[in-house]
Structure 1
Amino acid sequence: MSVSTFPSEHSADTHYQLCATDRQLILATQAGLPLTADPWATLGEQLGIPAEEVLARFQHMQDAGVLRRVAAVPDHYKLGYRFNGMTVWDIRDEAVPEMGQRVGELPFVSHCYRRPRHQPWWTYNLFAMVHGTSRQEVEDKAGQIRDLLGEACSSHTILYSSAILKKTGLRLKKQGDAPCSE
């Protein structure tokens, strides 16, 4: 599965106050979506709202920049992908939007994003995560990225994972909510 997460054009520029229903949706999905044929209907049944409203609320929170994405997060270790390389690239700044989009669309890149440089110690401004069943596979995939970037890239390296970190999504504490604008 390939999910591109190159930054979107919108973000949470203003303070967003969750209403009680939105908070309940987030609390109900903190451990993941229900593993059912229609997770939106299952969530709606749990909260007493139609599946269409569940989808509309998630879309509204994403449009407002509260949520970046709703996506499957497979356990790549269980799938045999035990070699994980964060490929980092020194790209001409003006080329990053286009190149980042192209790299993020590659089927073997799980996420891709722009990061600030910290000169002179850190020159890389584009990051792309690659998983493989061997170190050679990760290096081959990085080579494909390098070919795609061409002259826009002046240098790169691969930072290999040395530990598995627990991945979690948004976590909320129970607290007061704003009224919903139904």
Structure 2
Amino acid sequence: MSTSISKSEPATLSEQDRALILATQNGLPLVPDPWGELGEQLNMSADQVLERFQAMQESGVIRRVAAVPNHYRLGYQFNGMTVWDVADDAIAELGERVGELPFVSHCYRRPRHLPYWSYNLFAMVHGTSRDEVENKAGKIADVLGEACSGHTILYSSAILKKTGLRLRKQTDKN
């Protein structure tokens, strides 16, 4: 599970919310009823746990609660961050379309750093071969069409551990 904190506005966390985030920083309990398990740990009902997560998501404190699979263990040994030079007036619409492709695990806009880096759209794809990644990049190129003036693929060379924001437990000294 991944919990991501929004950067738009500072938020005040209740003690319950903070306890929930601390309890799930390493993932949801792998049990049939994770909300009930968390509730037992934190002296809350399963419904209260779910309501708190939904409220934090609605307020923007948490962007999402999601599974974070290990793509290497699933057989996807080739991982390419495709980067694209997309016309600024088309990037919002085209970025949405690329992000909706079933083989794109994440997609986002980034600033250009001219003259060294002209790419402003990033889309991560995974494959069982380099050819598969390049085929998927070709499908992205088809979506972008003439609005794209260049791209490349940056392949992973190491596995990096993905984690979201980590909260520290509060002590009397904090």
TM-score by length of structure 2 reads: 0.89
Aligned to 1:93: 88
Q: What is the deviation of 1:133? A: 0.6
2 CA distance for matches of 1:34 and 1:96? Answer: 39
Q: 1:130 maps to what in 2? A: 125
Aligned mates of 1:79, 1:98 — CA distance in 2: 31
**Residue 62 of structure 1, CA deviation:** 2.2
Counterpart of 1:13, as a letter, is: S
Pairs aligned (count): 167
* Mapped partners of 1:167, 1:81: distance in 2: 16
Please state how far the C-alpha of 1:23 moved relative to its aligned partner: 0.9
Measured against aligned partners, the alpha-carbon deviations of 1:124-160 in whole angstroms (never above 9, x if no partner) come to 1110000001111000000011011111211110000
Where 2:10 maps in the other structure, the secondary structure is: coil
1:15 paired residue among 7, 10, 17: 10
Residue number in structure 2 paired with 1:72: 67
Aligned to 2:79: 84
Aligned-pair CA distance for 1:83: 0.5
Higher relative contact order structure (alpha carbons within 8 Å, sequence separation ≥ 6): 1
Q: CA deviation at 1:65?
A: 2.5
CA distance in 2, matches of 1:57, 1:129: 31
Unpaired runs of 5+ residues, structure 1, are 1-10, 177-182
Where do 1:103-182 residues align within 5 Å? 103-175=98-170
> Which one of the candidate residues 26, 31, 40 is aligned to 2:35?
40
2:49 corresponds to which residue?
A: 54
Determine the C-alpha separation between the residues in 1 that align with 2:163 and 2:9.
Answer: 24
CA distance in 1 between partners of 2:104 and 2:95 (Å): 11
Mapped partners of 2:39, 2:63: distance in 1? 21
When you count strand as a share of all residues, which structure comes out higher?
2
Tell me if structure 2 keeps the 8 A contact 1:16–1:66. yes
> Which residue is equivalent to 2:3?
none
Structure 2: 5+ residue runs without aligned partners?
A: 1-5
Amino acid at match of 2:103: F
> 2 CA distance for matches of 1:106 and 1:73?
18
**Percent of aligned pairs sharing the same letter:** 72
The alignment yields a C-alpha RMSD, in angstroms, of 1.6
**Any idea what the Cα deviations from partners look like across 1:46-76, whole Å, max 9, x if unmatched?**
2121222222222222233322221110000
TM-score normalised according to structure 1 size = 0.86
Q: What secondary structure sits across from 2:131 in the alignment? A: helix
The letter of the residue matching 2:27 is G
Name which of structure 1's ranges 136-145 and 62-71 shifts more when overlaid on structure 2.
62-71
1:89-141 per-residue CA deviation (whole Å, 9 max, x = no partner) reads 11111211211111111111110111111111111111000000111100000
